[in-house]
Structure 1
Amino acid sequence: MRGTTPMNMGACIGFRETLAANRPGATNNDYYPLNQYVGKNFFEDENYRAALERFDGGYQISTDFIEWMQEYCDNEREHARNFIAYAEKWTTRIKHQSSLVSYHTTKRAQLDVVRIPKQLAHLKESNCNEIQRVIDKYRNYVNETYINERFRPGRKHRRTSEFKKLFKTAHASLSEVADQLETLRTLEKKAREALHTAESACEILQLDPSTTEKQLARANEVQNKKRATLEDIQGKLVDTKATYKVAQKTYRKKAIEIFNQCQTVEEERLDHIRETLLDFIQAMYTPKYSNELNQIFESLTTKITTQQNSFDDLLFWAKAYGIENKLTKPLTLTSNNDNYDSDSIVESRTHRKSIDHETEKHDRRQSIVEHEADDEEASAAISTTTPAKTKVKRTKPITNTDKKNTNTTEPSTIHNTVLNQV
């Protein structure tokens, strides 16, 4: 609003809302603080004070804005502290679970997930520090812009006194003419009343038969003086009105120049709010925060996918409780100092790689399949050389070696099938 068009305060944003707030029957939800300058012309009387009150009123808006941002930041910090307490509570609880059912890589995976809130808390705390820097920056700007008043509590804009002096100086000439105009209007009113009294006295004397010529002449003389006085005042009133219009134009021109300077200062305040809002939003969810958040969950997903091994857990459990596994080579168990199972059995890890175990299982399956295929071929050969109605029963003598092989292979096949299902 830097043009030279006269500013009517009724055209400002908020006029419609203010009227709605003060309409009859308005509820508490419709309440707005009363604006005493609504609908008044900025260039009349001392309505320029609206611009000064806008300056000083910005402090309350700024403190509300700071309080809102600070409360958000404090809530986020409290949330981070609750995350840490939550993670510690469940970490302790999972560590104290029964080692009979909670063990090895699965337990580690559970603990890794349970500790996620603690990582999120550290990330959120770092984010709160960024937000606090935005708040502190804006608070410093507000403290520099608004200074303490000398004789009353509160703060005012550091340039309020400067603009108040400019407006008062510009308005002084107009104010002087306005005072003269008001004085003349008062005198005119009194002169009219005096003339009316004189005219009434003349009329009474004229209707009285006992009135002498001398009395009537004196009454007419007084009436003429009162009329002359009134006409003189009216003449001065006309001249003063013309002077007032000239002074008003001069004041309007100066007031617009001063007001444009006020607009520049006010624009600075509004721009600071805009910049702070953008900085605050960016601090709430920065690309850095987003990348670190994604990294936490991607790293955890990869870790669980590669390190949690149910088959390894089952072997670990079986060996820990002294169950011999005849399908695999003897497992070499080593002491594990990890704090995940400090209160449970000593964990052991096999040195044999998983790929070796899978290869062994594949070879074992292949051997069984080939053996079954040989039996089918032999049965097919017998069926082709024997008539359909003749059934020949072949018995193969079972040697001690076959018995030994039968006893060793059959349990292995069954146990291997169970492990493959797991």
Structure 2
Amino acid sequence: MDLIEYMQDYSNLLQEHINRLNSYSNKWKSKIKQQSVLSSYNTTKRAQLETVRTPNRHAELLQNQHDVIQNIIVTYRTQVEQMYPNERFSTSHKHYRTDTKKNLFKAAYSSLSELSNKLEQLREQQEIAQNALDDANAQYENLCSDEIISKNKMTNAKEKQKKRKDKLGEIKREIVRTEEEYNQEQEIYRVRATKIYEECRILEQERLDLIGETLIKFSEIAFSSEYLTEQDEIYEDLMSKLQTQRNSLKDLNFWAQTYGVYGSTTSLSSQISHNGSISSETTTRKAKKSHKSEMTNTTTIEGSVIEDEEEQSQAHSTTTNAMALNQV
């Protein structure tokens, strides 16, 4: 598995989701802001805005997750490139210790390889010498069966037979000596090769450990419940605002003021008791808010104040228009 490609694909999918959440949230914030102040206003409008802002907040959380994953990818890629640098004049990669280890293996095996080749040559010579001796033996036996053969020919045949026999014996003795050297060198090679293997094993373990550690880091960020806790905080914060800051009585008074009909029948006294009952129900929930949620609330409230000012301006304009129509 190409781990870098896998993690990058996941990161890209996450970024696409983030972009869609932001686009979705911005679209609906724009729609709500463009609504008539008479159909969406005051605390209810702010509640709507808080709701459609929530995907933005969720996207910010996911963006943090995405950025951490990108850091993991960059770190892993850097480590891999150090471990497997580009070959000169090539796009392929190999471990930075590959050539060194190959040379060590080659050097360790060179003596053993030479002895192996020597044995192979000696065995070929032995076969040739054996065939030559067999021919000499056959010639000598043929001469022995010939009663009229000269003594000189018999002597020459016997000497030839002896030379070839001696040659074969010398080759056999050389084979024995070479085999002994080969066995000794094989033991030496085994020790050297084992040492080189142990060094390679350490390097391979580093590679495998790097993959394992990176998988753990990636999975902790991509699949753990850490970000689910923060997502729950976003939900709790939203629900708290919807239950404590949205107030129908305030909205009705605002509505009455907009139409210029606000009077004693729309007193805020009933609103006070209404707020008190809601506040007591949500005290426990608000006590659980983290410092992070409080900071987010502050930012949201500041945004709401700005929107209130805009809304009041729109309401003033609407009230003026309504009063002008009444005078007509």
TM-score (norm 2): 0.69
Decide which structure has greater helix share: 2
1:314-342 deviations in whole A, cap 9, x for unaligned?
554455456677744499xxx95245995
In 1, the alpha carbon distance for the partners of 2:243 and 2:314 equals: 24
The percentage of aligned residue pairs carrying the same residue is 38
In 2, the alpha carbon distance for the partners of 1:285 and 1:344 equals: 51
Structure 1 partner of 2:126: 188
Q: Residue 117 of structure 1 aligns to which amino acid in structure 2?
A: P
SS at match of 1:158: coil
Structure 2 partner of 1:282: 220
1:205-241 deviations in whole A, cap 9, x for unaligned?
5799899567777666655544443343233222222
In 2, the alpha carbon distance for the partners of 1:330 and 1:184 equals: 115
Are 2:136 and 2:164, in contact at CA under 8 Å, matched by a contact in 1? yes
Q: Structure 1: 5+ residue runs without aligned partners?
A: 1-60, 348-422
Name whichever of 316-325 and 139-148 sits farther off.
316-325
In 2, the alpha carbon distance for the partners of 1:340 and 1:273 equals: 59
Structure 2 partner of 1:176: 114
Q: Residue 337 of structure 1 aligns to which amino acid in structure 2?
A: E
Structure 2 partner of 1:134: 72
In 2, the alpha carbon distance for the partners of 1:86 and 1:340 equals: 27
Measured at CA, do residues 160 and 340 of structure 1 come closer, stay the same or move farther in structure 2, by a change above 3 Å?
Answer: farther
Name whichever of 183-192 and 80-89 sits farther off.
183-192
In 2, the alpha carbon distance for the partners of 1:75 and 1:67 equals: 12
In 1, the alpha carbon distance for the partners of 2:64 and 2:245 equals: 30
Are 1:91 and 1:114, in contact at CA under 8 Å, matched by a contact in 2? yes
From 95, 108, 118, the counterpart of 1:157: 95
Structure 1 partner of 2:180: 242
Higher relative contact order (CA 8 A, sep 6+): 2
Are 2:87 and 2:93, in contact at CA under 8 Å, matched by a contact in 1? yes
Equivalences for 1:19-418 in 2 at 5 Å? 64-97=2-35, 101-150=39-88, 152-195=90-133, 212=149, 222=160, 225-284=163-222, 289-314=227-252, 316-317=254-255, 320-321=258-259, 327-329=265-267, 336-338=308-310
In 1, the alpha carbon distance for the partners of 2:316 and 2:135 equals: 117
In 2, the alpha carbon distance for the partners of 1:185 and 1:342 equals: 107
In 2, the alpha carbon distance for the partners of 1:92 and 1:288 equals: 32
Are 1:95 and 1:341, in contact at CA under 8 Å, matched by a contact in 2? no
1:17-66 deviations in whole A, cap 9, x for unaligned?
xxxxxxxxxxxxxxxxxxxxxxxxxxxxxxxxxxxxxxxxxxxx7xx322
Q: Residue 196 of structure 2 aligns to which amino acid in structure 1?
A: I
SS at match of 2:85: strand
In 2, the alpha carbon distance for the partners of 1:218 and 1:104 equals: 131
Q: Structure 2: 5+ residue runs without aligned partners?
A: 270-306, 320-328
Structure 2 partner of 1:24: none
Are 1:109 and 1:308, in contact at CA under 8 Å, matched by a contact in 2? yes
TM-score (norm 1): 0.55
Are 1:146 and 1:157, in contact at CA under 8 Å, matched by a contact in 2? yes
Measured at CA, do residues 199 and 152 of structure 1 come closer, stay the same or move farther in structure 2, by a change above 3 Å?
Answer: farther
Structure 2 partner of 1:11: none
In 1, the alpha carbon distance for the partners of 2:312 and 2:100 equals: 70
| Pairs aligned (count) | 281
Measured at CA, do residues 330 and 234 of structure 1 come closer, stay the same or move farther in structure 2, by a change above 3 Å?
Answer: closer
